[in-house]
Chain A
C-alpha cells in the first residue's frame, strides 16, 4: 500500500477565492488521481495526473476551474478556483502503487466548505 497525506484536512473559504490542496505520497508513483465527493454522494473522478504530462480531465471538469500540478513522482496539487458554494465537497487524491497497479489507495481527504 502507500501512505498518503493531504493538506489542508479541512477549510472554510469565501466564494470567489481559490484553494490549493496538496497530496503527498511516501513512495514514487506513476499515476495520481483527484476525486470529488459532494455531500452525501459517491466519488467522481476529476482528473488523472501523471508526472511530466498534463493532467487528463473527465467530462464536466476543466483545467481553468481545477488546475493540477504534478511536479514529481510523490506530490501533486489540485486548485479549486473561483469557488462557489457548489464546490463544497470532500476532495480526495488517490494513487496506484506501482507494484499493485490494480488498486487505488486514497488519502484522508480535504473537507471544503464554501460560504
Chain B
C-alpha cells in the first residue's frame, strides 16, 4: 500500500526562524517518486521538487532544502529564514510510477508570523 504521512497539521513560527516540515512515506515499490507542493491561499498547487528513489542526494534551492532518507522513509523539507510569503499549506506526495496517480499527504499548514 502507498501512504504519505505528514504528522504536523499546523505549524506557526516567527519570521526569520527556520522550520522543518516532516514527511514519512510507505511503499513496496523499489522505484518511486516523491514530491513537495505548495498551496498558497490563492489555491493553486505549486510544484517545488521531485526526487526519485535512486537519488538520495539532499537538495538546496535558495532558502529551501530537502532531506531524503530511504532508511527512515522520510523526505523532510526545511525553510531557512522563513518569510511571511512562505505561509501556505505544504503537501508531500508519492507516486510509484510515471503517468500514475499521486498519493498526497494531508498537508501541513504553515503560518509565518511577522
- Listed in ascending order, the chain A residues whose CB lies under 8 Å from chain B are 1, 30-31, 33, 41-43, 45, 48, 58, 90, 92, 94, 96, 101-109, 111
Q: Across the interface, do B52 and A43 meet the contact criterion of CB distance under 8 Å?
A: no
B35 at the binding interface (Cβ < 8 Å) = yes
Q: Which residues of A contact B104 (CB under 8 A)?
A: 42-43
Contact (Cβ within 8 A) B44 A58: no
**How many residues on the B side are at the interface (Cβ–Cβ under 8 A)?**
21
- Identify 7 residue pairs between A and B in the complex whose beta-carbon atoms are under 8 Å apart, listed by A's number: A30-B99, A42-B104, A42-B106, A48-B101, A92-B45, A101-B99, A104-B102
Which 8 A-B pairs have CB atoms at the shortest separation, nearest pair first?
A106-B45, A101-B98, A108-B44, A109-B43, A42-B104, A45-B101, A102-B98, A42-B106
- A111-B91 in contact (CB<8A): no
Q: Tell me the B residues contacting A by CB distance below 8 Å.
A: 33, 35, 37, 42-47, 50, 52, 91, 95, 98-99, 101-102, 104-107
Nearest-neighbour CB distance to chain A for B38, whole angstroms, equals 11
Cβ-defined contact, B47 with A111, below 8 A? no
Could you say which residues of chain B place their CB within 8 Å of the CB of A43? Answer: 45, 91, 102, 104
